[in-house]
Amino acid sequence: MAINEPGPNPRRAYDKDGHEIPPATVASTRAMGIRAVTAFCDPCGHYAVVPLDRFPDALAIPDIALRVRCSACGSKRIVVHLDMTDFQPKGPDVPR
* Residues engaged in binding Zn ion (CB under 5 A): 41, 44, 46, 70, 72-73, 75
| Least distance CB 71 / Zn ion (angstroms) | 8
Cβ proximity to Zn ion: between 3 and 73 the closer is: 73
Cβ proximity to Zn ion: between 14 and 40 the closer is: 40
Cβ proximity to Zn ion: between 26 and 70 the closer is: 70
Selection from 61, 80, 77 nearest residue 69 by Cα:
77
| Least distance CB 74 / Zn ion (angstroms) | 7
| Least distance CB 72 / Zn ion (angstroms) | 4
Cβ proximity to Zn ion: between 75 and 85 the closer is: 75
The three-point CA angle 1-17-14 to 5° equals 145
| Least distance CB 86 / Zn ion (angstroms) | 25
Whether the CB-CB separation of 83 and 49 falls below 8 Å is answered with: yes
Selection from 10, 21, 53 nearest residue 35 by Cα:
53
**Close Cβ partners of 57 (under 8 Å, ≥ 6 residues apart):** 25, 26, 27, 30
